[in-house]
Amino acid sequence: MLDAAILGAVLASIVAAATTLLLASLGELVAERAGTLNLGVEGMMIVGAAVGYATAYGTGSLLLGTLAAILAGMALSLVFAGLAIWLATNQVASGLATTILGLGVAGLIGAPFVGTRLDGAPALKVPGLTDLPVIGQMLFGQDAFVYASLVLLAAVTYGLARTRVGLVLRAVGESHAAAHALGHPVRRIRTLAVMFGGACAGLAGAHLSLAYTPFWASDMTAGRGWIALALVVFSAWKPLWLLAGAYLFGAVSILQLHVQGFGLGIPSQLLSALPYLATIVALVAISALKRGQGAPASLGVPFVPDR
């Protein structure tokens, strides 16, 4: 029933669907490993999507659009960092506020662009390889965002495990008091980690509005920011598990679309909920097995130096 061409296209779209999540969750993972729980991912992502789209539409340059999206995500993350890190406010409340703010700002920025369309980021083709049956399009026919997400994954994995910067970042997330006593600038490190998270969320937003679905719609992130947050927990704060989680979500969300196409009589709302459901079930199962292991010990605790 499925021939190689369709299968190839399905696989390719799974990877594309997973990339937004992978980008956003990688950034959040870094922020959380440094000890800050930023619930503003959804907000930073949609601001990235709106600013990226507006810039690309105005300038005609996808690259400028992407850069603008990254800067916008970072800017919103600084709002969060200012509240949660420097004023030591409650991180959950500040994160939620950041998301709500982001949704509002993005709606405002995107309002003039409703109904417009862009030419999305082109697939980068490798002659010969892209035409391989089944896997060709998945591996060698993706846009730059997909490859960027994988490079970023490798960099974050290596950076956290093997570099001094990564070690210091993990230490700050593990015990900010101890890191402070050793003379590491806890709040500055956390701010940088949150900014990295904002940049990644902005990039994820750009992927949505400039490549995956190259148009603007006011709620186009559709809760992906929350799924990215859940993935970080589900991965037990390990970058490689993020890849598995993101691709699981991507696979279920693409497959349910095809199942809807078969007309099996299953309510479409239920099928649309499947990716979220599957991710949450996997999350609960894994956290039950690991019993909360891997969480940075200072996660979510504001740091106030006593002087």
Residues that bind other proteins (CB under 8 A): 164, 167-168, 170-171, 174-175, 177-184, 291, 296-297, 306-307
Nearer of residues 164 and 265 to other proteins, judged by Cβ: 164
Task: Give the nearest distance from C-beta 298 to other proteins in angstroms.
Answer: 10
- Which DSSP string do the residues of 226-261 spell out, in sequence order? HHHHHHHHHTTT-HHHHHHHHHHHHHHHHHHHHHHH
Nearer of residues 1 and 164 to other proteins, judged by Cβ: 164
User: What residue type is 205 in one-letter code?
Assistant: G
Any residues with CB less than 8 A from the CB of 129 and at least 6 apart, and which? 136, 139, 140
Nearer of residues 163 and 268 to other proteins, judged by Cβ: 163
Task: Give the nearest distance from C-beta 48 to other proteins in angstroms.
Answer: 32
Nearer of residues 263 and 292 to other proteins, judged by Cβ: 292
Token pair 């499947």 in the structure block, residue:
274
Contact 202, 67 (CB under 8 A): no
Contact 65, 123 (CB under 8 A): no
Task: Give the nearest distance from C-beta 226 to other proteins in angstroms.
Answer: 27
Nearer of residues 125 and 170 to other proteins, judged by Cβ: 170
Any residues with CB less than 8 A from the CB of 265 and at least 6 apart, and which? none
Task: Give the nearest distance from C-beta 169 to other proteins in angstroms.
Answer: 11
Task: Give the nearest distance from C-beta 235 to other proteins in angstroms.
Answer: 16
Contact 73, 228 (CB under 8 A): no
Q: Is 117 helix (H, G, I), strand (E, B) or coil?
A: strand
Phi then psi dihedrals of residue 82, to 5 deg: -60, -45
